[in-house]
C-alpha cells in the first residue's frame, strides 16, 4: 500500500486531496492540526507518533525528526536500502505534502519579540521537504496547493507520477524552503533583531527570493525573455496588482509605471506625472488632478504620446474625459470613480492600475552581469533646510518651486536638470554625459516659458557654464546639492547675474 505524509500550514484543498489519495489506496500519515482536520473530515489517518513509536516532545519541536519518517522518505528503493528498512521495521513513504508556516506573518506583527519569532521557525517541515525533493526519482513532494489537482489527475491517468513531473515538484520544493530561509536570514540580519541600522541590512550573504513568477510577453526587447516576481508576500508590489482593465503589462510598462508612481509619492498636493522610457516627461501639482494633469501634459505633449501617466488621487470623470484624448499605455492611480471607468473603457487595451496599498521599497537591487548591487532605496525627498549661498535669496514662491523641482530631478536620469514654474515642469534634461548638455536640452524645451522659472540639478554644478546658460533663458533661482571644488566660482557667477541659489547638501543621482 502506498503511503502519503501530509502536514500543511496552508490547508487550502488539503481535505479533498487527502480524500482522493485515500480513494487511490494511499495510507495517510499526518501531524498536529492537519491530522485533526483530516480526522474530522472522516478520512482514515495515522498519527506520526504511531509510526515512530515516540511521542511529540519539546512542545512539538520534535515529532517528525525520526528515522522511521526520514528513512521512509530518503530510501532510494534499491535492494540494499529495502533490506535496511525491513531490518529496522521502516516502511517507504511515497508522497509528501508539506508547506511551511509563513514566518513573515509572525515577524510582521507589531511588537513581536525575538523569542516569538524563533518559536515560529519551522524545522521539521523544511527537513521533510528537502529530504523528499532530494529523493524525487522515487518520491512525489507537493508544497503548492495548486498542484494537488495535477498530482491526482496524473495518479489516476497513469497510476503514478512521471519522473519529469516529480522533478518539477522537487524544484518548487527547494524554492519553497529557499524562500523560507531567506526570510529568516533577512529578519535575523535586520535592525529588528540587532537594534541597529548600520550594515545590519547588508549581511555578508545576501539572498534574493521571488515567488509567484509571471511570464511577460518579452523583456526590454522582443528577443529577450522576462518574468516578474513578488519579493514580499506581506507587502504589495507592482507584481501583485491585477489591472482593472487592459492587456497584461510588459517589462517596460512595469519599469515606467514604477517611475511614475514613485514620483507621485513625492507629493502631498494633487499630482500628475507622465513617464516615457523611464524618465518623467511631465510633472505638476495643482489644486486638483485635472489642473495638475493639464500642466504636466504641457511640458512635453509629443513625448507623452504612448507614455505612462500616474496620479496620487482618485481619477474622476472630468479627468477621464481628458485622458482619453491621448494615447497612453498605462494609467495608474489609487482609485478610479465608477464614472471614470465607464469613460476609460472606450479604450479597452489601456491598462488601468490601482496603486492603493502599494508598498514603498527599503532597498534597491540591480544586476551587473553575474554580480548584484544593493543599496538603501532613495526615499522621498524631505524638505530639509535649504542653505541660501548667494546675495539674492529666493522668495517664498521660488522656494516652493525649487523644492518641487528638486523632487522631480530625483526621478530624472543623471545628469538631471529640471526647469519649473508654478508647480509644473517646463523642461527636463536627462542622461547626458555632461551637465551643461542636460541643461541645454531642458532649457530649449522650456523655451520662452523659462523666463522667471527655477532650475534644479540632481548633483553639484561643476562649472559656472550651466549658470550662464540658465541666465540666458531668464532663470531666477537654482537648487543644487553643492560640494564642487568650483562652488565659489559658481556662486560668484550667480551673484554677477542676479540669480538666487540654494544648496541642499544631498545628491540624488539616478542611473
Least confident of 81-90, 252-261, 300-309: 81-90
Using CA atoms, how far apart are residues 84 and 75, in angstroms rounded to an integer? 9
Least confident of 85-89, 359-363, 415-419: 359-363
Least confident of 30-34, 137-141, 241-245: 30-34
Segment holding 340, helix H or strand E: helix 338-344
> Residues spanned by CATH 3.40.140.20 within the chain?
241-354, 387-503
Query: What is the DSSP-derived secondary structure letter of residue 239?
Result: G
Q: What is the pLDDT of residues 458-500, one digit of tens each?
A: 999 999 999 999 999 999 999 999 999 999 999 999 999 999 9
Burial class (CB in 10 A: 0-12, 13-18, 19+), 485: exposed
Using CA atoms, how far apart are residues 239 and 235, in angstroms rounded to an integer? 11
- Is pLDDT at 384 greater than 80 in this prediction? no
pLDDT of 204: 58
Please state, as a whole number, how many other Cβ atoms lie within 10 Å of the Cβ of residue 257: 24
β-pair partners for 418: 428, 456
- Is pLDDT at 25 greater than 70 in this prediction? yes
In Å, the largest CA–CA distance within the chain is 96
Report residue 207's pLDDT band, with 50, 70 and 90 as the boundaries.
low
What is the pTM (predicted TM-score) of this model?
Answer: 0.76
Using CA atoms, how far apart are residues 126 and 170, in angstroms rounded to an integer? 13
Using CA atoms, how far apart are residues 416 and 436, in angstroms rounded to an integer? 10
Return the C-alpha cell found at 103: 514566518
- Is pLDDT at 412 greater than 90 in this prediction? yes
pLDDT of 223: 95
In Å, what is the CA distance from 494 to each residue of 218, 324, 368, 387, 502? 49, 44, 40, 15, 11
* Radius of gyration, alpha carbons of the chain: 30
Nearest to 142, CA basis, from 15, 4, 37: 4
pLDDT of 235: 66
Least confident of 96-105, 252-261, 458-467: 96-105
CATH code for the part of the protein at 3-192: 3.40.50.1380
Q: With the C-alpha atoms ordered 180, 105, 241, 202, is the resulting torsion angle positive or negative? A: negative
> Residues spanned by CATH 3.40.50.1380 within the chain?
3-192
Place of cell 496552508: 10
Please list the helix, strand and coil fractions of the chain in percent, rounded to the nearest 5, in that order.
40, 20, 40
Please state, as a whole number, how many other Cβ atoms lie within 10 Å of the Cβ of residue 318: 15
Pick the CATH number of 387-503 from 2.60.40.1930, 3.40.140.20, 3.30.830.10, 3.40.50.300: 3.40.140.20
Mean of the per-residue pLDDT values for the chain? 89
Please give the backbone phi and psi of residue 473, each rounded to the nearest 5 degrees, phi first: -100, 0
Asked if residues 44 and 22 have their Cβ atoms less than 8 Å apart, the reply is yes
pLDDT of 234: 59
Place of cell 533646510: 385
Compute the average pLDDT of residues 60-83: 80
List alpha helices for 141-288, DSSP H: 148-158, 163-188, 191-194, 251-264
Report residue 56's pLDDT band, with 50, 70 and 90 as the boundaries.
confident
Using CA atoms, how far apart are residues 128 and 66, in angstroms rounded to an integer? 10
Q: What is the pLDDT of residues 317-368, one digit of tens each?
A: 999 999 999 999 999 999 999 999 999 999 999 999 999 988 777 778 888 8
pLDDT of 199: 36
pLDDT of 195: 41
Compute the average pLDDT of residues 19-31: 91
Cβ contacts of 441 within 8 Å, gap of 6 or more:
417, 427, 428, 429, 430, 432
Using CA atoms, how far apart are residues 119 and 110, in angstroms rounded to an integer? 16
Using CA atoms, how far apart are residues 382 and 8, in angstroms rounded to an integer? 46
CATH domain 241-354 topology = Cytidine Deaminase; domain 2 (3.40.140)
Least confident of 80-89, 104-113, 153-162, 228-237: 228-237
Using CA atoms, how far apart are residues 143 and 8, in angstroms rounded to an integer? 8
Residues annotated as catalytic are: 134, 277
- Is pLDDT at 203 greater than 70 in this prediction? no
β-pairing verdict for 271-276 and 279-285: antiparallel
Q: Tally the residues of the chain.
A: 511
Q: Tell me: cis bond preceding 103? Omega within 30 of 0 counts.
A: no
- Is pLDDT at 198 greater than 60 in this prediction? no
Please state, as a whole number, how many other Cβ atoms lie within 10 Å of the Cβ of residue 410: 24
β-pairing verdict for 95-99 and 140-142: parallel
pLDDT of 200: 39
Nearest to 18, CA basis, from 37, 53, 504: 37
Q: What is the 3-state secondary structure (H, E, C) of 380-430?
A: CCCCCCCEECCCCCCCHHHHHHHHHHHHHHCCCCCCCEEEEECCEEEEEEC
Beta strands of 22-174 (E only): which ranges? 27-30, 46-47, 95-99, 140-142
Amino acid at each position: 500500500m502506498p503511503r502519503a505524509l501530509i502536514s500543511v500550514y496552508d490547508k487550502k484543498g488539503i481535505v479533498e486531496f487527502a480524500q482522493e489519495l485515500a480513494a487511490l489506496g494511499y495510507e495517510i500519515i499526518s501531524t498536529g492540526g492537519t491530522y485533526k482536520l483530516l480526522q474530522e473530515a472522516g478520512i482514515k489517518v495515522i498519527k506520526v507518533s504511531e509510526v515512530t513509536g515516540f511521542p511529540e516532545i519539546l512542545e512539538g519541536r520534535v515529532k517528525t525528526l525520526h528515522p522511521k519518517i526520514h528513512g521512509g522518505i530518503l530510501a532510494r528503493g534499491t535492494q540494499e536500502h529495502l533490506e535496511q528498512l525491513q531490518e529496522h521495521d521502516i516502511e517507504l513513504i511515497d508522497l509528501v505534502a508539506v508547506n511551511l508556516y509563513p514566518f513573515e506573518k509572525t515577524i510582521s506583527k507589531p511588537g513581536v519579540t525575538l523569542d516569538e519569532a524563533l518559536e515560529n521557525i519551522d524545522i521539521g517541515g523544511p527537513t521533510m521537504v528537502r529530504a523528499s525533493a532530494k529523493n524525487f526519482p522515487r518520491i512525489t513532494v507537493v508544497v503548492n496547493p495548486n498542484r494537488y489537482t495535477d498530482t491526482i489527475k496524473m495518479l489516476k491517468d497513469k497510476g503514478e507520477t512521471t519522473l519529469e513531473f516529480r522533478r518539477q515538484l522537487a524544484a518548487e520544493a527547494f524554492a519553497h524552503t529557499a524562500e523560507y530561509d531567506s526570510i529568516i536570514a533577512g529578519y535575523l540580519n535586520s535592525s529588528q533583531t540587532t537594534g541597529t541600522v548600520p550594515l545590519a541590512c547588508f549581511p555578508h550573504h545576501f539572498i534574493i527570493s521571488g515567488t509567484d513568477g509571471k511570464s511577460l510577453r518579452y523583456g526590454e526587447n522582443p528577443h529577450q525573455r522576462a518574468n516578474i516576481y513578488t519579493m514580499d508576500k506581506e507587502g504589495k508590489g507592482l507584481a501583485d496588482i491585477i489591472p482593472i482593465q487592459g492587456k497584461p503589462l510588459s517589462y517596460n510598462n512595469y519599469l515606467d509605471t514604477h517611475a511614475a508612481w514613485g514620483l507621485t509619492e513625492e507629493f502631498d498636493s494633487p499630482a500628475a506625472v507622465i513617464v516615457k522610457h523611464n524618465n518623467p516627461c511631465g510633472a505638476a501639482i495643482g489644486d486638483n488632478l485635472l489642473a495638475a494633469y493639464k500642466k504636466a501634459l504641457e511640458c512635453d505633449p509629443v513625448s507623452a504620446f504612448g507614455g505612462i501617466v500616474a496620479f496620487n488621487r482618485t481619477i474622476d470623470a472630468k479627468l477621464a474625459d481628458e485622458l482619453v484624448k491621448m494615447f497612453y499605455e498605462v494609467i495608474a492611480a489609487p482609485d478610479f470613480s465608477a464614472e471614470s471607468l465607464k469613460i476609460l473603457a472606450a479604450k479597452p487595451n489601456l491598462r488601468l492600475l490601482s496603486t492603493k496599498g502599494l508598498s514603498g521599497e527599503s532597498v534597491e537591487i540591480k544586476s551587473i552581469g553575474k554580480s548584484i548591487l544593493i543599496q538603501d532605496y532613495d526615499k522621498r525627498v524631505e524638505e530639509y533646510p535649504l542653505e541660501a549661498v548667494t546675495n539674492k535669496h529666493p522668495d517664498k514662491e521660488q522656494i516652493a518651486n525649487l523644492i518641487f523641482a528638486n523632487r522631480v530631478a530625483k526621478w530624472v536620469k543623471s545628469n538631471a536638470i529640471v526647469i519649473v514654474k508654478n508647480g509644473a515642469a517646463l523642461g527636463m534634461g536627462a542622461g547626458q554625459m555632461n551637465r551643461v548638455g542636460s541643461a541645454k536640452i531642458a532649457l530649449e524645451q522650456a523655451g520662452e516659458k523659462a523666463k522667471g522659472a527655477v532650475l534644479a540639478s540632481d548633483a553639484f554644478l561643476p562649472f559656472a557654464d550651466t549658470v550662464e546658460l540658465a541666465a540666458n533663458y531668464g532663470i531666477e533661482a537654482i537648487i543644487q546639492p553643492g560640494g564642487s571644488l568650483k562652488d565659489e566660482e559658481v556662486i560668484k557667477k550667480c551673484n554677477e547675474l542676479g540669480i538666487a541659489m540654494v544648496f541642499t547638501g544631498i545628491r540624488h543621482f539616478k542611473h
